Amino acid sequence: MDGFVFSVVLASALMHATWNSTIKQGPNSFLESLNIYIWKIPLTLTLILILPIPHQDSWPFIAVSVFIHIIYNYALAYSYQHNDITKVYPIFRGTPPLIILVFSYLFLNETISFTGWIAVIITSLGILSISFTGSLIQKKSILSISLVTLSIVTYSIIDGLGARASEQSFSYLAWLFFIKGSLYSIIIISQQGYQTSFEHLNNNRIRGIVTSLISFLSYSLILWAVTKAPIVYVAALRETSIIFVGIIGWLFLSEKLSKIKILSIIIIALGAGLLRLS
């Protein structure tokens, strides 16, 4: 993987860990997710007015992706509401690269080197191993965790192909997040109540605006990267965000950084190094 692309994806991973930790940090994950996505509406609308319209071939991808992303965000908020982030995040992020790896080889005709195969497998196993520590997953969260995992696999592939077809990855993302953000905000406000939602938005607007910018920039860098490198390489490297999640959880969320987690982080770093060589 090209050194510049590698650095961009790592920067995106740090940003991704930051906004995920923000959702978990608040007492109500649904309101925290609303506080991120509602502020993306004016941001993406501004970009829509400035950027070229995505190529017509990308619109079916946008339509499907909106649906998948809404499921992802709702299931993600539910999972964080009932579990420690350092418990469920590794499952979310360790499983998809393995599935995408096989799918890319069988159906996407992407060139994946032997080193690439080993790198993705090592990275994913390192991420998954972190979930073996800490508290048990709540049984009522199994469905939501499964939905998040499958959603990540699906939108990673769809958005990778859509960004390539759009010829304008930033414009593609602006339309995707504008439509998704609008629909998702309506859903959460309806669920949580108008007064409760807007009190939370008003009291936390600075954090919401900053986090929404970080979230948008994080995924926009990923969509740019998949136009330069195989989707599975980008997907696997992005999941090194678990390293940053572990550090953030330890520093700010009072979560333990055990010896097993430290060993897992070393394994993930090894996988990331191999991805750079792929």
The DSSP result for 209-222, as a single string, is HHHHHHHHHHHHHH
**Chain position carrying tokens 């509406």:** 41
Number of neighbouring beta carbons within 10 Å of residue 187: 15
From 161, 213, 162, 172, select the one nearest 35 (Cα to Cα): 213
Q: What is the CA radius of gyration of the chain?
A: 18
Task: For residue range 164-203, list pLDDT tens digits in order.
Answer: 999 999 999 999 999 999 999 999 999 999 999 999 999 9
Our separate counts of H helices and E strands in the chain read 13, 0
Q: Alpha-carbon distance 249 to 252, whole Å? A: 6
Strand, coil or helix: what is 254?
coil
In angstroms, the first-to-last Cα distance of the chain is: 6
Task: For residue range 232-272, list pLDDT tens digits in order.
Answer: 999 999 888 877 777 776 777 666 777 887 888 889 989 99
- Would you list the domain boundaries of the chain? 3-277
Q: Alpha-carbon distance 31 to 36, whole Å? A: 9
Q: Alpha-carbon distance 142 to 3, whole Å? A: 38
Question: And the tokens for 23?
Answer: 């959702």
pLDDT value of position 201: 93
Contact assessment for residue 112 and residue 230, using Cβ atoms and an 8 Å cutoff = yes
pLDDT value of position 136: 61
Ranges of residues in the chain whose predicted pLDDT is under 70: 24-25, 85-86, 133-140, 249, 253-255
Q: Quick one: 271 exposed, middle or buried, by C-beta within 10 A (0-12, 13-18, 19+)?
A: buried
From 177, 164, 146, select the one nearest 69 (Cα to Cα): 177
From 59, 58, 64, 63, select the one nearest 167 (Cα to Cα): 58
**Chain position carrying tokens 């939108």:** 155
Q: Alpha-carbon distance 173 to 216, whole Å? A: 8
pLDDT value of position 76: 85
pLDDT value of position 110: 85
pTM of the model: 0.84
